[in-house]
Every structure is written in structure tokens, then in C-alpha cells.
Structure 1
Amino acid sequence: MLSRFRLGIDAGGTFTDFVLAEDTGEIRLYKALSTPSDPTLAIHAGLDQIAADLGLTPAEIVSNCDLCINGTTVGLNALIQHKGARTGLICTAGHEDSIEIRLGHKEDGYRYDAEYPPARMLVPRHLRRGVRERVISDGSVRVPMEEEDVRAACELFAREGVESVAISFVWSVLNPAHERRAAEIVREMLPNAVVTVGSELYPQVREYTRTSTAITNAYLAPIMGRYVAAVDRTFRALGARQPVRYFQSNGGLATGEAMTDRAVYAINSGPASAPQAGLYVTAPLGVKNVITVDMGGTSFDITLTRDGVTNVSKNTDFLRYRIGMPMIQVETLGAGGGSIGWIDAMGLLQMGPQSAGSDPGPACYGRGGAEPTVSDANLVLGYLSPAGLLGGRLPLDRDRAVAAIESRIAAPLGLTVEQAAYGMFTIVNNNMVNGIRRVSVERGFDPRDFVLVGAGGATAAHITALAREIGIDTVVIPKLASGLCAFGQIISDVKYNHMATCPVRLDGDDVYARVGALFEEIEARGIAELEANGFPRDRIRIQRSLDMRYVGQVHECTVEIDRFRLDAGSIGAVKEAFHRRHEELYTYAERHNAVEVVNLEATLYGIVDKPPQKPLRAGSGAATALAGRRVAIFSADGAGVEVPVYDGSRLGAGDVVVGPAILEETTTTIVLEPSWTARLDAGGSYVITRGA
């Protein structure tokens, strides 16, 4: 039951967003500049804004929250910048180089590029120590573990200053005894080290994936541990009644302890909540096919939801590191408001992926940035208000934007500043459209069958141009767009994934007992975990899935199944579900072929009460919200046209604005190109459609 408040915080690369839900149904949005060196500073800044707005102290706000939820890029940034913990690996002797061999795989797009450099290893070669031991594929011990090898590895790690250790042995998923004993020795000899045990973190078949996942988790765990401890201290000091919840890359909430132990779930913590929010704002339209795009100051994130289900990927390469854990599939580009425009060696204009971020930021911020960025281009094009962003709290300097574009782009290319700005706008849009095509067209989906939802502070200035280019006719921009991921957090449930390996053919005599018993075992662990988090049994939902393949295949596919009793009568339905899924993915099925299970997974949800939302007041016509006019540019020749500018805070439900026009909300600006029309609905979203 919602108490007075619920708070969602999404820490991005440029801004940290705060969404506060009140028991009255009021939803409030605030933004503060991110402080990567100490994220708690941005949290304090945001709480100070909320306190000033409500006439309360930060302690009064936090102590009256039923939940404080945090989504963070700390783990992602550590992986991108290779600033994780000094990590050691203990593995089966002879397998020290499996993470470097990578199954002989190169990422798609570089498979035949001989000059493409190898991935940077998170564990250097001298810190990968082999242990003489061997468990074989039936789970029996062929070679007992030499404990002295583990002790020798620990002595080396102590000398080298290792603060996190990953342990991954061959076939440990069938017999984890050696890994567990090795972990006991590590904890005894290195009591301050964080230990990640592969068979506990990712108990599924595939030794390379398990090892890579364990290493990535170990690499991030100390970073996340320090971050979680700092955030928890901050909220405890302010009187928080419940532990802070953290948003995971699997699309659900978790406690800080779970987030530290399973730090790999923090990688896509921020953007993973966007699909939930996208479905929420399109629900009044009866829409379940949604592409959600989020353009902030640094990046552009894309997720696709079909028939109400967002694609979850496992066993994928993320930033060149194989991750086995289930993650909301997010396509991320280096395209944000701070993305820098530059001219390459061939004299062609490029945008990003490098970003000015929040420090120094775009040239127009007046904080010392000299490089021309997307925000500078949007200001010159007339899309952004010269009075500044965030209701004027972040002033913009048009002269600095003009100077940056003139010196770095326009003059070298022989263009006017306006032409150069529109070129920058067009190129960054093309980059984003290509990303949308990757999650839709390249995966067999027609984007014209989807509604485009805009999230992030910078998206709305580009949204109609993106929709026009990709062929989408309906766009939804919530008033909360710039904090939509933070909003997605406050309407999400706690979510834990529990996995097991179970190599068994579906025509075997013991299949029903083995699979059923394993599901019951892992579900019992998940239920206990959620009950410890305060969820009664009637607030826990369980979803099952199986990784299956045809006998003889190398790769398996995941099939969701209902939670029914597995027996001779129901196994046929499981097989048929696999055949249909295989046909959907690969266009064919082999119903005559034998099917085998490889892994199984139970996803457990702790259902959280959703905050109410107050409908908008009825509008009295868009004319009452007209705030003025300014010149905007919608063509490559740089010619400007005068367009009306509307104050979004004065628009009500049912009001209609016809483009070309600009709609200014406090934290985002919507640019309506010619032939687009926006209608504000009672739920607080602009439904934007394209005319003939």
C-alpha cells in the first residue's frame, strides 16, 4: 500500500532524474546534473529540489516513502571505462585462456575483419590461475581438487592486490563441490575479497559463458558494493523506512544485497525500466506493440515490446563480454544531446559517439565546452528555447553554440551555420533510425506495426523526424518523458531469476520427475527470498521457461511454459511450444526430431502496489497555452519559418496542437514537424499522429 510518497531515481550520464509519486495521484518530475565522482551528491541535489518544491525537508520526504528506488549507470560506466575491481580467476587447469579464446568467436559485423582488435580482458593473464581438478559430464569426480593450487592462487592474489575473485570450474553445474570448497579457501585466506562462484551465479551449461559471466560479476561487485553502501547510508540517515530497492537489467527491482551479489544485473539498470513505462503510457490506446526510445545527454537506448512482452536476451555479448544472465534487450548508441559533431579524415560530417556529457557539457551550456553538439544544433535550429532548459534553471547561450558550429563544422564544410546545424540534426537522426531498424527490421519486425514512445529529455525534439524516417505514424510522448525510466521503476515489481541445468531428452522415462523436482527446488529458493523481502505468498507470481533444442543442435532457444505439472499428458504441449518457437525464430520446425532440455529457469515476481495517477484537468483549447512564436528550421537549406510555441503546463486533456509547432514542457521540448498533430490525453501523454 502506497504511503504518502514513492520515489524513483534514475542516474544517467548527464542528468539524474527523480520521479515522486504522491498518494493523491500527483506525479512530480525533477532533474539534477549527475555527479559521476560521487552519485550521492546528485541524489542530495534532487532531494533538495523536491524539498523546496513541497515545503518539506529531505528527511520528511524520504521517511514518508514506502519505497525509494534507484536505477544507476555505475556498473555500466565501470565496464565501459574498464574501471572495475582488480580481479583474479580460479579455474580448471588448462582452461585459463577460455575467456580469451572466446569459442573462436568475433562479434557480428567484425567476423572477417582481420584488423579488429581483441577484447580487453577483465582479468590479466597472470591473474588467471588453474587448479588441478576435474568433474566430468555426468557430474562424477574424475580428478579430486588440489587445494594447494587454490592456496597458491590466493597467495598470488594477495601480493597483487586482488579485491575480487571469480571461481569457475568445468561441469561445476552438475557437481559444485569443488567450487564451493575453493570459495571456502579464498574466503579464509582473502577475507576482504569479494567472491563470485560461477555455479551459484549462473548454474547453467556452457563453461565459457559461465566463466565470462562470473568474471564480469566479480569485476563489478566491489564497485556496486561501495555504491550500494553509500546510497543506503544516505537514505538511512534521512530516515528511510524500507531498504532502498535497485533496478536490475532483468526489468525488476532487487534489494541492495542482491544487487551486490549479482552485480552483473546492474549493467543495464537504467534503460531496462523503459519498456514497462512504455506499455503503461500506451495502455489507454490498447497498444501492446511498442518501441521505446530514450535519448538523454549521452546515449540513445532502444527497446522493443511485442504483444506486451519485451525481449529478454541471455548468453549474449555485451560490450564484448559474454553475459549469460537474462537482461532486457537494449540497443544503445552514442547519440545524445551531448554527442559531438566532427569531421572525419574524408571530410564527412559525423556525430558521436563521443559526448560532452554534463562536464563541460555542450558549448551552449557555458561551462567551458567548445565542441559543437546535438544540443547546440537544436538551439540554432530554434527547437530549444533561448531562455534555457529545466524551466530556465539551465540557461543556454546561443552565441556560444553558433561559434562552436561555425568554427568546427560550418566553415570547414563551406556551409552556413544553419545548414551545418540541420546537417548535424539529420545525421544523428539517421544514426538513431539505424538503431531502431536493428531492433525491429533485422529481427523480423515491421516498425510500422509499432507505436513509438519517446523517453529522455532530448528525444522529443527528434521524435517526429525519427517516426517519419522509419515509417511510424503514431508517437506517444508523456509529460514525464525526460524521467520515464524513473517512472518505470516506481511501477515495477521485484524480480528474481533462478536457474538450473538439466540435460535430459523429453522422451526419457525420468524427464518428468527430474524437471519437475528442479523447478520446485529453485522456486522454493526464490519464494524464500521474496518472503524475506516481505512478500506474502499471495503476492508472489512465478513464470517458468525451458532452454530446449533438437538433439544434435549446438544452440538452444528459450520457451516459456505454464506452471503445470509435467507428466506424460502435458509433455506434448511442451514439445509443441518448442516447435512453434523454433519455427518463429528460424522459419522451420522438425516435429519428427527428438527434443532435449538443456537448462531451466524460474522467474519470480514480488508484486508491488502501483501508485495512483490523477487524470489531467480538461483543456480549454490550445490557443490559451500559446506562449509566443519563434523561427525554426525544418529543411536542409537552412531556411527558417515562424512557428507557434506552446506552454505545455497550460495545456489540458483534449487540447490539440497542429504542426509545425513547438511544445515546451519543463524538462523536454516537443518539436512537431509539418503534417504532425499532437493531442494531450487525460493520462498526461501527447499522442502524436501523422496526417496525409
Structure 2
Amino acid sequence: MASSEDDPTAQHNAEILSIDAGGTMTDTFLMDSNGDFTVGKAKTTPDDESRGFIKSSQDALEDWGLSVEEGFPNLVSTVYSGTAMLNRLVERESEVDVGILITGGMEDTLRMGRGRQSYTGYSYSDRLHVNTHKHPEPLIPRNRIRGVRERIDVKGNTLVPLYEDDVREGVDDLLDQGVDHIVVMFLHSYRNGEHEHRTAEIARKIIDERGAETSVMLSSEYYPTLKESERLNTVTAEAFAAEPSRDQLSNIQEAVDEQGGNVGVRVMASHGGTIDINANELARTLISGPIGGMIGANYFGQKLDYNNLVCTDIGGTSFDMGIIIDNDWQIDYSPEMARLLLSLPMVNMESVGAGTGSYVRVNPTFDKIELGPESAGDQVGVSAVETDVETVTVTDCHVAMGWINPENFLGGDMPIDREVAEQEIKKQIADPLDMGVYEAAQGVIDILESKLRNDLEAVVTGEGYAPSNFKCLSYGGGGPVHTAGYTKDLGFDEVLIPEWAAGFSAFGCGAADYEYRYDQTTSIDIDPDLSMEEAAATAGEALTEVWKNLEQKVENEFENSNIGRDEIEFQYNILGQYQGQLNSIDIESPVGRVDSPEKLERLLDTFEEGYRRQYSEEARSPELGHTITQASVRGVRDVVKPEIPTEELQGPEPPADAYKETREAYWDGEWLDTEIYDLHALQPGNELSGPAILEGAATTYALPPDCETRLDEHRVHHLTTIE
């Protein structure tokens, strides 16, 4: 937590507020007009996230001696990321009823899904056994799906006209069932949406005649991309999970307004930007917290000249990993979320169900410890005596081993009982395995860190990269506790832990651009036997027309927030491949219009360079010709962003007021005297050797006996292993 060196609290003028409401905790990152910042933390309140939002904000403002009423009126930027939408998908529960009109014969698409969707999220062993392999439950029951006779082919030609009587019958039936939203998804409507639009006209007329308040959502308007299963999942998720969250987001905005704030709330989107809470495509915000961490890591790297980063985020529920190369991230165009394959652009990340809140159980058949994937979430563990958790969690093991101070959890706001933790570990884990309590707790930590280490190594080396070419950035409320363990022997160039690790994803939300993005599937061939003049007149004109349409959609979104075109910077992308290939690569175009041979040549040169960089010079095959499979337009508006602190370096010896006490903690099978420090009282240049524990209000940094840490001038810890 960084703060100004001057003491009077009135000198802090809060400007940027960003919130990450995770599955366990709601983190706040707050920056003032001087670039000083602080981090707040509170339990997530899933029933009404605005309560956790206000409490976490208050926790941050209290460091500056301010109340919410005093801090909010000065805000110029507020960004929020939450979990309510994702929870609806995970739990398959929503406040609304959704009906679907789909091409006749495709009524079971939602239930069948893609083959990959049937096993996504499962371990290899669970995929193989019938008792553990369960197909994901569809979002919408079969009785609320109606087929409509029609057919558009892959080129956009009408093969079977729209049977309008089928539409009328289907709409009437769905309205009789009381649906709140009707989703329309016809085959190849991304190429020709005429049938979907006519269906919407008929449906809305019937809805008006019956006095209903049902909305109609078209896949050709929301997500006009290839692959009907992903497109159906995505537009259905929009109706099922995203639309009900508009009320939740409105509550956040109202909470800001009620406390004197005069700023619109933006929400983190999956593609790496922030959008208004009234944006058309709100499903893009389904998963936002981990995305904020990646955006923050990239911004952090750009500011401090760290080009290649492996990002690791440990919370109470999951371990999220991502890779940044040359200050850029990859986009996944068919991400998995809640065991659904979706059709929307998302910053590429890997996530496993392992966090500090993961349940710990003993498998009675094999007499072995198993972790998660279920988590206690905001209930923390059995040691949190005010909760009703009955199963031991990883955090309980931290408490038993003396790594976490029971009186300092959440700054002392959540009572923790170490004796309860020890009793339950003994009963649930140690006794069944004929082990000691602390030996069992250490075993849990070892298993967790081994799993995290293996997962992290697989993500990096699986992409063909060497860890030695990357710095590992560790953050999240649970990150600093385990960083030394899960990075051990992986060979990273450096291991970095920002002092504000607990609020790093929220920091990333504040560093994200105000950005809208629209995508459109295309099939634009650039034949190798055409001259540049001929190709520009055909393929170039077709691509330009698609870009213009997408550009208008982006412009319309900004207009809804009273932002004019002159304030927007447009960026243009394509997915391209050599003709006949199955996979495309993402290319940022150097031009926004392809209306001349010179501009087409620049676009193709950029593709060739991107292909060479991703595969190799030898893999290039321009003689095959090129195909543009998707076009995208991003509109970006500059916003106020946080500053990375820079302070004068002091000596290696920590100041006296940073030392708190010495207490025993359990390390690798023995109790050792461990020095305890105030994480935020350390000064740049300070160096510490383990065993030591650095305590902050929102996180704990565990330093094992064989490790050292150095705090640099940007308040970033550099973790090293003593050889």
C-alpha cells in the first residue's frame, strides 16, 4: 500500500476507484491526484454486490482518514468488475426465463454442445470415468426451445424461405410460458441476418399485441460469428446471465451517486477494455476480475520496461495464469466459461480450481489428500468462527502453521480461531492419515504448491516458451503466501510481487482503456494470381465495408455515453490465414481502409510478419493466397490511469517501526522463530531473509528460510532463492 509521505489525511484527493469483486473478497484500488494509492478489502456480498463495493471502498479510504461521503465526490474514474454474471452461469440459476427460436432440426444444439464442451473443465482421469464425467447442464430447458423452418447457406443464400407461421406459433408458445427474453439463432445468420430480422419483426408485433414486456435478441446483432454452438451459447448467456445483471450494476451506480459521486461506472470487459454498464453486449463482462489482472500486468510491464511476463493470480477460489509477450497478450476467440464454449474475444488465460479457500478432504479409498475444486469462497474456512463452514480449507492450514495472524485477517475485521483450525485439521485430515496436525497442514500446502507449480510450468512450456525468458508476476490476495513455493526451481528470470498484490486486479481495471469492440465473421479471399490492383478492388473493398459497419456500431456505443467520434481512436484487426488452412492468426492492421493497392500490400506484409513470428520463416506460404476469416474494430478513448509509485531508495536494513514481533511458524517440518514485519512500513531498498512473514491488511507475504526479498523503488518485491 503506497501513501504520501505527508501525514495529514486531507491532502489525499481520491481520483481513480477500481473494484474487483471476486468469489471470496472484494478488492479496491484507490489512487489520488498525486499518484499515491491505497488498497482496500472486504468480503464479497453476492446477493447485493453494492454492499461489498461500499465496504471495500471505505476500507481503502480509511487509510487516508476519509469517509466514502468525503472521497466519492472527487472521483473522475470508477471501474467495477464482479462475479454475479459468472455465478449465474456456474449455478445455472437466473432470475429470468429465456426462450429460444432456432433453425428447425437444430433444437438440441444447446443440450448437445460441441464435443470439446463435454469434457472441458475436467481432469484427464475424470474425463475417462462414467461416474465422474457429467455433461454440462444446458442453460435453457428443452421445452422452451422452438424450431423454425428456414435455411440460409454458408454463403448467405436462401435455401429454404422463412416459415412465418412457425415463428408466430413459436412466439405464442414461449409467451404462454412467460419468458422474459426470446433468443433467435438461425444457421449462418452471421452471413445473412434477413430471416432473424424478419422473425424479430413478427415477434415484437405479437409481443405488443399481447401486452407483454418480453425482449427479442438476435445472434446476428449480438455475436455475428462463425460456429453456431458457441454463438447460441453466447447470445443465450447474454439473456440468461448478463441482462439480469444490469440491475446489479445499476445498484453499483446508485451507490456511487448516493455517496456524492458524479461519475459513470464502467465495467471490465473480457477483451481487455472497459465499457459502460448500459452497453449493448454485456456478456463481454461475464469474467472480468482475472482479466483486470492481465491488463494491470501489461500496464505494469510497459511502465517498468518488463516486456515478457508470466502472470499468476491466486484468490480464494482459483489460480489464474496468463502470458504477456512484447507487452501484448493473445486473444482467445472461443473461450470456455462455466463449461460453456462462447463466441466472444477474451484475453487468453488458463484457470484451475485451486485457491486459498479450496476445501481439503481425504480420499478414503486411496488415503490421500485432495484439494477442491470447490471453495469456501467468502466464508474462508472452519477457523472463521462466524461462518458455517464445516470442511477444512487451505487457509485453515495457514492459520495452524502460524503463517497467518488470526488477529490480522482482513485487518482484524474477520475473527479467526487458530485452535478451531487445529482441531478440525486433526479430525478431518491428520487422524485419518495417521499424521500429526502440523505435518498434515504442511502436506496440504506442499500438495497445493506442487499442483500450482505443475500447472504453471505446463502453461509456459506448453506454449513452447522457456521460463528463463520471463519474469513471473505474482498477485492476488493469496499470491504472496505461496509465491516462493509455486515458483521454486522453475527458472524464471525474476519473481516479482507488487506491494499492492491484493488489489492488483482492481489496479488493472483502473489501468484499462475505455473501449468498445465489435467482431464480424468474414470469408474474404485474396487469390495469389490477382494483381494488387485487382485484389484491392475486390477483397479490399469487401473488408473496408465490413470495417465501416463495425466502426459505426462502436461509434453508436460511445454516442450513448455522449462521447463524440473525435474523441475516439479506432483500431482495426483481422483474423487471417493462408487459403485452405484451418487456423487463423490475429493481426492488427496498419490501415483502417483497404482502398488502394499500397494499403493492401501493407496489410499483407503485416500478416506475413505476424505469421513468421508465430510459426517461422519456413512456414510462410504466400503462394497459397490469403483468407480473412474475421474482422474487428476497437474504439478507444483515453482515461485517467494510475501511476506506478517511484520513491527514493533507502538502506537494506528495515526501519524499526516495520518490525512487529517474532513468533514461531512451521516451515518444512519444524517450528522456527520467524520475524514478522509490517508489509507497508518497509522502505525501498530494504532486504529481508527468511524465515519471515510480511503482514498487510489485505494479504500476507510468506518468506521461507531459503528465500530473500528486496523492495525496489516502485514498491515491488523481488523474490530470490538462496543458493
TM range (shorter): over 0.9
SS at match of 1:462: helix
Q: Could you say which residue in structure 2 is the equivalent of 1:143?
A: 160
Q: Distance in 2 between matches of 1:32 and 1:82?
A: 26
Write the letter of the residue equivalent to 1:96: E
- Equivalent position amino acid for 1:43 in 2: F
- Aligned partner of 2:440 in structure 1 is 420
- Aligned equivalent of 1:158, options 168, 175, 180: 175
Describe how 1:304-453 pairs up with structure 2 within 5 A: 304-344=323-363, 345-359=365-379, 361-453=381-473
Deviation at 1:63, TM superposition (A): 2.4
Which residue does 1:669 correspond to in 2? 700
In structure 2, the CA distance between the partners of 1:60 and 1:540, relative to structure 1 (3 Å rule), is same
| 8 Å contact kept, 1:213–1:325 | yes
Share of identical aligned residues, percent? Answer: 28
**What secondary structure is seen at the aligned counterpart in 2 of 1:336?**
coil
- Further displaced range: 653-662 or 525-534: 525-534
Match of 2:523 in 1: 503
Q: Which amino acid counterpart does residue 37 of structure 2 have in structure 1?
A: I
The answer to whether structure 1 residue 298 and structure 2 residue 317 are counterparts is yes
- For 1:688, the equivalent position in structure 2 comes to 719
Mean Cα displacement is larger for which, 217-226 or 572-581?
Answer: 572-581
Which of residues 108, 126, 133 is equivalent to 2:150? 133
Does the 8 Å CA contact 1:629/1:645 hold for their aligned counterparts?
yes
Deviation at 1:67, TM superposition (A): 1.9
- Structure-1 separation of matches of 2:585 and 2:627: 11
Q: In structure 2, which of residues 97, 111, 114 is the aligned counterpart of residue 86 of structure 1?
A: 97
Between 583-592 and 423-432, report the one with greater CA deviation: 583-592
Report the Cα offset of residue 48 of structure 1. Answer: 4.0
* Structure 1 residue 417 displacement after superposition: 1.0
Q: SS at the partner of 2:431? A: helix
Q: How does 1:264-663 map to 2 (within 5 A)?
A: 264-283=283-302, 285-344=304-363, 345-359=365-379, 361-507=381-527, 509=534, 510-535=538-563, 537=565, 539-563=567-591, 565-566=593-594, 567-579=596-608, 581-582=610-611, 588-612=619-643, 614-616=645-647, 618-619=649-650, 621-622=653-654, 624=656, 625-635=658-668, 638-663=669-694
Q: Deviation of residue 353 (structure 1)?
A: 1.1
Kindly indicate whether the alpha-carbon contact (under 8 Å) linking 1:544 and 1:561 is maintained by their aligned counterparts in 2: yes
C-alpha distance 375-656 of structure 1, shift in aligned 2 (>3 A): same
Q: In 1, Cα distance between the equivalents of 2:554 and 2:509?
A: 21
Query: 1:366 touches 1:397 (CA, 8 Å); kept in 2?
Result: no
One-letter amino acid of the counterpart of residue 521, structure 2? T
The farther-off stretch of 364-373 and 107-116 is 107-116
Structure 1 stretches lacking a partner, 5+ long: none
TM-score in terms of structure 1 length:
0.93
Letter in 2 for 1:383: W
Aligned match of 2:709: 678
Write the deviation string for residues 40-77 of structure 1: whole angstroms up to 9, x where unpaired: 22123234445655554433322221122110011111
Distance (Å, rounded) in 2 between the aligned partners of 1:44 and 1:364? 22
SS at match of 2:474: strand
Query: Separation in 2 of the partners of 1:178 and 1:443?
Result: 42
Structure 2 residue ranges without an equivalent (≥5) = 1-11
Deviations 1:364-409 (A, max 9, x none): 4553433221111112222212433133233321111111111111
Residue number in structure 2 paired with 1:45: 55
**Selected match of 2:113 from 93, 98, 102:** 102
CA contact (8 A) 1:254 1:496 kept: yes
TM-superposed CA distance for 1:114, in Å, is: 7.0
Decide which moves more: 105-114 or 4-13.
Answer: 105-114
Counterpart in the other structure of 1:18:
28
* Structure 1 residue 531 displacement after superposition: 4.8
The one-letter amino acid paired with 1:117 is K
What's 1:204 paired with? 225
**Deviation for aligned residue 1:518:** 1.9
Query: Would you say how many aligned residue pairs link Structure 1 and Structure 2?
Result: 687
Q: SS state of the match for residue 377, structure 2?
A: coil
How far has the Cα of 1:613 moved from its partner? 5.2
Q: Which moved more, 1:581-590 or 1:81-90?
A: 581-590
CA distance in structure 2 between the partners assigned to 1:34 and 1:659 by the alignment = 33
> Do the aligned partners of residues 32 and 82 (structure 1) sit closer, same or farther apart at CA in structure 2, a change above 3 Å counting?
same
Distance 1:399 1:366, change over 3 A: farther
Given that residues 62 and 68 in structure 1 are in contact (C-alpha distance below 8 angstroms), is that contact kept between their aligned partners in structure 2? no
Farther off after superposition, 530-539 or 272-281:
530-539
The amino acid that maps onto 2:298 is L
Question: Cα gap change, 1:492/1:398 in structure 2, threshold over 3 Å: closer, same or farther?
Answer: same
Pair 1:19–1:283, CA change in 2 (3 A): same
Residues 334, 343 of structure 2: 8 Å contact kept = yes
Residue 156 of structure 1 aligns with an amino acid whose one-letter code is: D
Specify the code of the residue in structure 1 equivalent to 2:305: G
Please list the CA deviations of residues 244-303 of structure 1 after superposition, one character each: whole Å capped at 9, or x if unmatched: 111111111111111xx3232122111111012223434465212112222122222222
Instruction: Provide the C-alpha distance between the structure 1 equivalents of 2:686 and 2:275, rounded to a whole number of angstroms.
Output: 40
Contact map agreement 1:274 1:303 (CA 8 A) in 2: no
Q: 2:257 — aligned with what?
A: 236
The amino acid of 1:688's aligned partner reads L
Corresponding position of 1:30: 40
Cα deviation for residue 497 of structure 1 reads: 1.2
Structure 1 residue 461 displacement after superposition:
0.8
Determine the C-alpha separation between the residues in 2 that align with 1:334 and 1:268.
15
2:149·2:162 contact (CA, 8 Å) conserved in 1? Answer: yes
Q: Once the 2 structures are TM-superposed, how far is the Cα of residue 157 of structure 1 from its aligned partner?
A: 1.6
Q: Is the 8 A contact 2:397 2:445 kept in 1?
A: yes
Alpha-carbon offset, residue 618 of structure 1: 4.7
Partner of 1:650: helix, strand, or coil? coil
Worse-superposed segment, 100-109 or 401-410: 100-109
SS at 1:468 equivalent: coil
RMSD: 2.6
Q: Which moved more, 1:674-683 or 1:373-382?
A: 674-683
Instruction: Please report how far the alpha carbon of residue 95 of structure 1 lies from its aligned counterpart in structure 2 after TM superposition.
Output: 1.9
TM-score, with structure 2 as normaliser: 0.89
Deviation at 1:419, TM superposition (A): 0.9
Equivalents in 2 of 1:465, 1:433: separation in Å? 8
Whether contact under 8 Å (1:362, 1:375) holds in the other structure is no
Q: 1:380 to 1:520 in 2, by over 3 A?
A: same
Equivalent pair of 2:311/2:321 in contact (CA under 8 Å): yes
Moved more, 363-372 or 264-273: 363-372
CA distance in 2, matches of 1:462, 1:631: 18
Cα deviation for residue 96 of structure 1 reads 1.6
Residue-by-residue CA offset, 1:561-612 (whole Å, 9 max, x unaligned): 2225433334345445445545665663433322211211112221112244
Q: Aligned partner of 2:346: which letter?
A: M
SS at match of 2:288: coil
Q: Deviations over 1:168-204 (max 9, x none)?
A: 1122122212212222333344442343210111122
- Secondary structure of the 1:671 match is strand
Amino acid across the alignment from 1:203: P
CA deviation vs aligned residue, 1:343-378 (integer Å, no higher than 9, x gap): 113111111111122237342455343322111111
Find the aligned partners of 1:7 and 1:487 in 2 and give their Cα distance.
Answer: 9
Deviation of 1:8 (Å): 0.9
Report the AA paired with residue 197 of structure 2. R
Amino acid at match of 1:559: I
Q: Does 1:7 align with 2:53?
A: no
